[in-house]
Structure formats: C-alpha cells, structure tokens
Amino acid sequence: MAEPRSGSARGLYTISVAAELAGVAPPSLRSYEERGLVAPTRTEGGTRLYSNADITRLRRVAELAAQGVNLAGIGRILELEEENVRLRDGPVERG
C-alpha cells in the first residue's frame, strides 16, 4: 500500500464530490486520469480519492478546456507550469 499523503495531497473526496467541486462531470475526471492529467489516490478497494491539490489541478484543466485547449495541449501546459514553479522555487546556486 502507498504511503499516506499529507496536507493538500491527501485524498479526501470521492469522484462525485470532486467533480462537483471542480465543476466537471465524473466521466471527464476518469478521462483526465486516463490521460495522466490527474492522479488521485486509490483505496484498497479501488475507489478514487481526490485531494485539495487534485481539485485545484482539475479546475485548471477545466479552465484550459473551456478556452478550447485539447487534452494533449493541457498536459503540456501543466508540465510547463510545473517546470516554471520548480525553476522559480529551486535552490539558488552561489559562486
């Protein structure tokens, strides 16, 4: 079994609640998971549990989709946004 996640990364919401909070339909959540846009935790019985961080990510996915970006494009945008955060928040090298 996976290690328990803490803080905003801990799975809290079932798919129906997550869909309502994110403003998308449950089938869309399944599709986003299949495409690797979100990765909810799973209970031992296989139930998806979405965290607060997942809900934030799902809202961003929905926002981009509403702007007409396809799922492949959304995936790339999310990757680039995450890379920008890593670069911005990374350690500063001193010479």
- For residue 22 the two structure tokens come to 């994110």
Which domains are delineated in the chain? 10-89 (1.10.1660.10)
Q: Which of 57, 45, 44 is nearest to 18 (CA)?
A: 57
Query: In the prediction, which pLDDT does 92 show?
Result: 63
Average pLDDT over residues 68-87: 96
Query: In the prediction, which pLDDT does 11 show?
Result: 83
Query: In the prediction, which pLDDT does 94 show?
Result: 63
Cα distance between residue 62 and residue 24, in whole Å = 7
- Which has more confidence, 79 or 93? 79
pLDDT at 55 over 50: yes
